[in-house]
Amino acid sequence: MKLEQVELRVVSLPLLHPFEFSNATITDKIFPLLTLRASGIEGYAEGVMDAAPEYREETIVGALGFLRDTLLPQVLGREFANPQALLDEMRIWRGHRMAKAMLEMAFWDCWAKSLELPLWVLLGGNKQAVEVGVSLGIGNFEQTLKDTQSALEQGYKRVKLKIKPNHDLELVKTVRQAFPQAHLTVDANSAYGLSDLETLRQLDQYHLDYLEQPLAFDDLLDHQKVQQHLRTPICLDESILSPEDTRKALEIGAARVINIKVGRVGGHLEARRVHDVAAAFGAPVWCGGMHESGIGRAHNIHLSTLPNFTKPGDTSSASRYFKKDIIQQQLEAKDGLMPVPQGNGIGVTLDQQQLKAVSTGLEIIKPK
């Protein structure tokens, strides 16, 4: 496919409810959207980096600069036979996985459309719908109990609670008592250290499916030290940027479950390799979320059709997040199952009018 042109813009979608996690509170989902035109076909992807580096190091301005000044000048105007050829070209640059993922994912969308196949078929998936759960932000106990009940009534397969020091054991105890049979997990977004081992051990009594990212975003070794003392499996999110990270984490026993975010690890090829490495270790994976719009959500759903995605993902109904999405279709789960869009490529199309209303800074980048 010949890479002809890229459009970059920044989209700002107000969230229906502010979302608090251990390190930040998000009120609007702000993200860069990339439109690729390759061999006359348009493909789409969104970046999962935020305006500020509160999750990992990458930021929106950093990604736009890297794409505009470094990556795109090198690849625009050239032919790439498949996503691997494009990935090989990007290998010389360190890091910037979220930014690289934007181009790689849009390329997959174009490539699948050119082959007249849905993305999930090309990726090698085997499901028409994927199991999903919800991620609840930090709030008061009463609200969390209400939201848990409502999610379970709607059939969501798992409820994840955000925790932080002093907002942990009492919360989990309360929710567990109210819902003795529910699949519950917690996510600390790196809020704890080794000195919190006793608190983390106390979580064992609430039979959580897993404990997500308790320690530093860039650590594996201390996770291994904590995992040794826990019955509850640790699931790594922030710490896993690559298939190599996955191998190392599973080899030393730093985790037993892996959260895959296609944007965080650098695109679908890398995400599939993370999936394959985890499968080789017998470790389940699931698809994380970053409050994506319909474009990123559709990519996530397609990826989740791979066979080792055996735990429910965070790609719940778009209507839980936004009043109005930027796509024409509605990505809504029913009984905890999210249908996989069946058109070619990612199978969703932009609502141009809504996109215009919520985006700024359109840049059109062509070959030099």
Task: Report the interface residues with ligand OSB, using CB under 6 A.
Answer: 55, 135, 187, 189, 237, 288-291, 314
Rounded CA separation 142/149 (Å): 11
| Residue 135 binding: pick among ligand OSB, Mg ion, none (C-beta 5-8 Å cut-off by kind) | ligand OSB
Known catalytic residue at 261: yes
Q: Which residues of 301-334 are buried (b: 16+ CB within 10 A; e: fewer)?
A: bbbbbbebbebbbbbbbbebbbeebbbeeebebe
DSSP letter, residue 296: H
* Candidate segments 172-180, 187-195, 250-258, 312-320, binder of Mg ion by CB under 5 A: 187-195
User: Binding mask 207-246 vs Mg ion (x if CB under 5 A, - otherwise)?
Assistant: -----x------------------------x---------
Q: Which is nearer to ligand OSB, 260 or 306 (CB)?
A: 260
Residue 12 tokens, joined: 């700002």
**Interface segment toward Mg ion; rule CB under 5 A; list 12-20, 144-152, 205-213, 355-363:** 205-213
Cβ nearer to ligand OSB, comparing 213 with 344: 213
**Min. distance of Cβ 237 from ligand OSB in angstroms?**
5
- Find the shortest distance in angstroms from Cβ 48 to Mg ion: 12
Contact 255, 283 (CB under 8 A): yes
Closest CA to 299 of 315, 321, 319, 280: 315
Which of ligand OSB, Mg ion, none is residue 219 near (CB under 5 to 8 Å by kind)? none
Binding partner of 289, given Mg ion, ligand OSB, none, CB within 5-8 angstroms per partner class: ligand OSB
Query: Radius of gyration over alpha carbons of the chain, in Å?
Result: 20
Residue in 187, 209, 245, 270 binding Mg ion, rule: CB under 5 A: 187
Transcribe 140-170 into DSSP letters. Answer: -HHHHHHHHHHHHHTT-S-EEEE-BTTBSHH
Please tell me the count of residues contacting Mg ion according to CB under 5 A.
3
What's the DSSP call for residue 59? Answer: B
What minimum distance in Å lies between the beta carbon of 109 and ligand OSB?
Answer: 20
Name the residue type at position 158: R
Integer angstrom CA distances of residue 278 from 131, 260, 307, 324, 332:
19, 10, 11, 36, 28
How far apart (Å, rounded) are the C-alpha atoms in residues 365 and 195? 49
d(CA 206, CA 102): 38
Partner from ligand OSB, Mg ion, none contacting 290, C-beta within 5 to 8 A by type: ligand OSB
Among this protein's residues, is 356 annotated catalytic?
no
Q: Which does 55 bind (CB under 5 to 8 A by kind): ligand OSB, Mg ion, none?
A: ligand OSB
Pick the catalytic residue from 29, 162, 164, 311.
Answer: 162
347: partner contacted, choices Mg ion, ligand OSB, none (Cβ within 5-8 A by kind): none
Active-site residue identified among 100, 160, 261, 311: 261
166, 139 Cβ separation under 8 angstroms: no
Catalytic residues: 162, 261
Residues that bind Mg ion (CB under 5 A): 187, 212, 237
